[in-house]
Structure 1
Amino acid sequence: MNDCNPESYKLGQRVHSANDARRIGTVKYVGEVQGYSGTWLGVDWDYGNGKHDGSINGVRYFQAKSQKSGSFVRVHNLSPGISLPEALRVRYRGESSKEEEDEMYVLSASNKHVSIELVGKDKIQDKFSKFEELTSAALPYLGVSSPGANIGTIVTNLKELDLTGNLLSDWKDIGAFGEQLPALAVLNLSNNLMSKEVTGLPQLKSIRILVLNCTGVNWMQVEILKHSLPALEELHLMGNSISEITPVSSPIVQGFDNLQLLNLEDNCIAEWSEILKLCQIRSLEQLYLNKNNLNRIYYPNNDTIHELVSAHESHEESYLPFQNLCCLLLGNNMIEDLASIDSLDSFPKLMDIRLSENPVSDPGRGGISRFAIIARLGKIKILNGSEVNS
């Protein structure tokens, strides 16, 4: 869908190229450009595929994030996106042949593919009437920018929704998905640039898995989000340049009573003291820290935990640190000391460890071999994805 009125676009709005839904950017300027007629939209493209930094012929119109991520675009070359119901029609209608247009496959509640024959001029409406069978929908890079109206009456049994690489940014829209889709348990918002303002979120009691990879979120936003996600079991936060774990009301992270898996891969965490702020999440079983900047790890002693917990006047009772953690992925960091390896044996239930692509596990960089690592760790069952032979 193209809106040909440039005044309908607002600053900060997410858009994509009219001919390429994967070329996504943010509107930074609406107005005239010296030397050119008409109204232009200045767009800062996510992946730097522009022409300049927001200035042209010595005049600055906006500040792009890099020297070649900005460009000026005519309104007919942009799309403000489509609603979720429209995306469902595009995705499941099929475009390759007339035969495929007359037939749609959905995944039923019993995980079987159901073929739906559609005839007559009302076939699109008929397809929507059959969406009640849909339990899982994958709508990546389709330009979804809003929930649309009455989605709860269209996909009444939807449990899994993949919205990777769309134009969503407002958390209120995410709240609308949760409210209108009461069965929704898995939501993937990867590669949507989310707003820094987390407001207006209702209780999303059914969401168990939330994927926020490459969305620009920080831990302060996560602290706000957790109050709306009481049933959350998995949280994926890859590629968000997170360097600090910043609890709001305590020196350590509290809440997340059901969180079993936390994925912080491909971030910028350099200090193990930041990770220690997670040590009182009792339900946590899997912690993914591959591709960070950690150079050492250690298991906290009683004094360390007491110092962390007692710093908060109204602290709750402290628990054994990382008491249920059984999987810790530390691949591709900067760990180089043997004391870090030895400390892994102090984690009460830790059995699955990844240490590949660290100096300490690379004999060519002064590290030790796989067999030497296994010899130092008595409880380990899996190392670098492979079972340890007893």
Structure 2
Amino acid sequence: MTSAARIGERRSYDGALCTVRYIGEVAGTTGSWLGVEWDDPSRGKHDGQHKGVKYFSCKSKSATAASFVRPTRLADARQDFLSALHLKYATDPTTEKNPPKQIVFSGKVAEEVGFEKIRRKQAQLDELQFVILDGAQIACAYASQSVAAGDGAKDGRQSIGQVCPKVRELDLSRNLFERFGPVVEICSELPLLRVLRVNGNRFQYVPEDETLASADGVFDGVTELALEDTLLGWQEVCHIAAKFPSLTTLHTGSNQLSALTPVPAASFTSTLVSLHLEFNDFSSLVDIAPLAAISSLRNLNLKLNHISHITPPPPSHTTTATPGPIFGPNLHYIDLSYNNVSSWSFIDALPASFPGLTSLRFTHNPIYDDPDLDNPESVPTTTTTTTPPKSQGQKGGISKTDESYMLVVARMGPQLRTLNFSAITPADRADADMFYLSRIARQLAAVPEGPAEKEVLARHRRWTELCELYGEPVVVRQKSVDVNFLEARLITAEFTYCEEEEDDDDVGGGGGQGQGQGKGKGKRKGQDVEGKTKKVVKTVQIPKSFDIYAVKGLVGKMFGLSPLGLRLVWETGEWDPVGGFDEVDEESEEEAEDLAEAERERRGEVGGGLDLEASELQKKGGRWVKREVELKDGPRQFGYCVDGLEAKIRVERR
């Protein structure tokens, strides 16, 4: 037989914890039922409502946290703290009622080597410093009140302080406590306690708990407290935390918190350093604005919430926006990963709300996964139409993750020193700033001059600052063309071909020296004659509907070359950072300058893009490469292979 149930009682059925919320009959059935709310909401079937009748309410917001069980169902036995401690640490597994199952491999029993020594050491309860009793069905400090805290040995039993006086870290998560009082009783006899975890418990009547109210001095040495998955409100959390005058770290995740109320004037507001609020229901930073009162706060964890804005959008009937919260200068680190941020304006506003922010985690947000998500002028990039050629240290161009990383670094500015646990080097910052400038230039090129241009610049608060540092980028706007005109269906293509001339003075000279040597560029009639490069540029308008085969045939006729022996390379004019060259040394700088000089001599020009030459880019940190796309043979239309109505294409022999 089970004991008589009562509302608010904590029970365990086959290891699954629950709270009794209702006792009585259920329409359409016979007999009495217990309406319980499961700690694991996936175990239930409803939210306290059955066949349209609401019998009780649950603390959990889940629609499947509740169910009905019969009062006659056998519940798991409850334990006191000392019984659970002896059972886990001072009991020989071979003498248990249900000894652990043996592990067998290929018919042979696996033997545990060294575990017996560990068990003997842990069985010395008076030497234990780390005690983990989670899920142990603990409901009270002592089995009866015959041994009160501090009474010592009585009726042949010892107090908690005598059994395990050296405990420094205690985990009492997922047990059967109904009030915080038993936790106070246990901890009052552990003077060396520094870390307390009571996650997954369901404490009731916290403000009215007399034992908690008289707990002054019990938790003076505790610096870390975990109250995760307790479904406590923020005021209840603060009420408990106020009893921890030395508290530096507070965990209160998975508590369904959607907005914080003002923090009461309590001692922890001047000592708290790290606050963990992950797995809650915040939607904007205004929801956590009361935390600005905690002047000592340095680290704030907000991952896995629903944050999408600094301030909530104003109602439709008003245009007045809620001012953003401003946190103290001591707050240096914030974790905003796994949220719903979908606009770069959020990142732009972070420095104003967090003036002391130096470290940020921002992965797994929509805008981080797709950096062009909030860009109204976004156009398909070259990486979506064709595959850029592989260059040294670069595989297929820059990934979206790398783009997002650089955009966050550039938009946040020099105050950010660490992003996603990675230190930002001067080379990283220079690369990010210049990449950001190129993106702004692309957006400006997509709109006409005038109001539209000002709207674009208004979205980039660091535009003026970056232009002063690196120079203003060249913005090449496409001419506006009526789509009904023939001009709108033509692409003006500038083809550049570097052909090699031979020095007539050297041809045939030398008395036949060099006869029989291998053939190569710049050689004629077997002589080592170095050729001169002559650049030939021809411009022609080509219909967008031409496929690449037709374009190559046209180019072959223009330059007198065989179409099958040609390569067409589209010079996009954009710059991409090359991976693996973040650390620049003198040799790499000289090598980059030599390569740039050789390229200029070969082609006789320097590509477009940012108004910075390759050598200047190298000096400012990192290594950059011009994005070039080879136009592969195929039936694909020319208009789908290049962007805009103008294109620069380099012609090469295979």
Amino acid at match of 2:297: L
Alpha-carbon offset, residue 136 of structure 1: 0.6
Distance 1:53 1:343 in 2: 40
1:342 aligned onto 2:355: no
Alpha-carbon offset, residue 177 of structure 1: 2.6
Alpha-carbon offset, residue 364 of structure 1: 5.6
The match for 1:379 is 415
1:208 aligned onto 2:204: no
Q: How does 1:169-180 map to 2 (within 5 A)?
A: 169-180=178-189
1:358 aligned onto 2:365: yes
What CA deviation, in whole Å up to 9, does each residue of 1:305-364 have, x standing for no partner?
x999xxxxxxxxxxx942211211111222233333233345444221011122332326
Amino acid at match of 1:291: L
RMSD in angstroms over aligned alpha carbons? 3.6
1:143 aligned onto 2:148: no
Amino acid at match of 1:44: E
Amino acid at match of 2:80: S
The match for 2:295 is 282
The match for 1:293 is 306
What CA deviation, in whole Å up to 9, does each residue of 1:287-318 have, x standing for no partner?
011122222238xxxxxxx999xxxxxxxxxx
Alpha-carbon offset, residue 114 of structure 1: 8.1
Aligned pair in 2 of structure 1 residues 5, 283: CA closer, same or farther (>3 Å)? same
What CA deviation, in whole Å up to 9, does each residue of 1:158-179 have, x standing for no partner?
1111122211230212222332
The match for 1:330 is 336
Alpha-carbon offset, residue 76 of structure 1: 5.5
**How many residue pairs align between the two structures?**
345
1:186 aligned onto 2:195: yes
Amino acid at match of 1:268: D
The match for 1:71 is 68
Distance 2:196 2:176 in 1: 15
Where in structure 1 are there 5+ consecutive unaligned residues? Answer: 107-111, 118-126, 299-305, 309-319
Aligned pair in 2 of structure 1 residues 145, 370: CA closer, same or farther (>3 Å)? same
Q: State which of 74, 78, 81 in structure 2 corresponds to 1:81.
A: 78
Amino acid at match of 1:10: R
Amino acid at match of 2:258: S
Query: TM-score, normalised to structure 2's length?
Result: 0.47
Q: Is the 8 A contact 2:227 2:253 kept in 1?
A: yes
Q: Is the 8 A contact 2:200 2:228 kept in 1?
A: yes
Amino acid at match of 2:292: C
Aligned pair in 2 of structure 1 residues 153, 339: CA closer, same or farther (>3 Å)? same
Q: Is the 8 A contact 2:343 2:373 kept in 1?
A: no
Q: State which of 367, 370, 382 in structure 1 corresponds to 2:405.
A: 370
SS state of the match for residue 380, structure 1? Answer: coil
Q: Is the 8 A contact 1:24 1:45 kept in 2?
A: yes
Amino acid at match of 1:387: A
Q: Is the 8 A contact 2:78 2:138 kept in 1?
A: yes
Alpha-carbon offset, residue 209 of structure 1: 0.6
SS state of the match for residue 221, structure 2? Answer: coil
Amino acid at match of 2:21: K
Query: TM-score, normalised to structure 1's length?
Result: 0.76
Distance 2:17 2:83 in 1: 19
Greater CA deviation, 178-187 or 363-372?
Answer: 363-372
What CA deviation, in whole Å up to 9, does each residue of 1:242-286 have, x standing for no partner?
111112658xx9852110000111111123223232123221110
Aligned pair in 2 of structure 1 residues 328, 58: CA closer, same or farther (>3 Å)? closer
Q: Is the 8 A contact 2:263 2:291 kept in 1?
A: no
Distance 2:272 2:330 in 1: 11
Where in structure 2 are there 5+ consecutive unaligned residues? Answer: 101-113, 148-158, 312-322, 375-402, 427-654
SS state of the match for residue 36, structure 2? Answer: strand
The match for 1:388 is 424
SS state of the match for residue 225, structure 1? Answer: helix
Alpha-carbon offset, residue 228 of structure 1: 0.9
What CA deviation, in whole Å up to 9, does each residue of 1:137-181 have, x standing for no partner?
111211111122532222111111112221123021222233222
Amino acid at match of 1:257: S
SS state of the match for residue 275, structure 2? Answer: strand
Distance 2:186 2:198 in 1: 12
SS state of the match for residue 20, structure 2? Answer: strand
The match for 1:233 is 248
Distance 1:254 1:230 in 2: 5
Q: Which of these two proteins has the greater Rg computed from alpha carbons? A: 2
Q: Is the 8 A contact 2:248 2:268 kept in 1?
A: no
Aligned pair in 2 of structure 1 residues 257, 105: CA closer, same or farther (>3 Å)? farther
Q: Is the 8 A contact 2:246 2:271 kept in 1?
A: yes
Amino acid at match of 1:281: I
The match for 2:21 is 28
SS state of the match for residue 97, structure 1? Answer: helix
The match for 1:115 is 120
What CA deviation, in whole Å up to 9, does each residue of 1:104-139 have, x standing for no partner?
989xxxxx968349xxxxxxxxx5xx3110111111
Q: State which of 159, 168, 174 in structure 1 corresponds to 2:168.
A: 159
Aligned pair in 2 of structure 1 residues 221, 389: CA closer, same or farther (>3 Å)? same
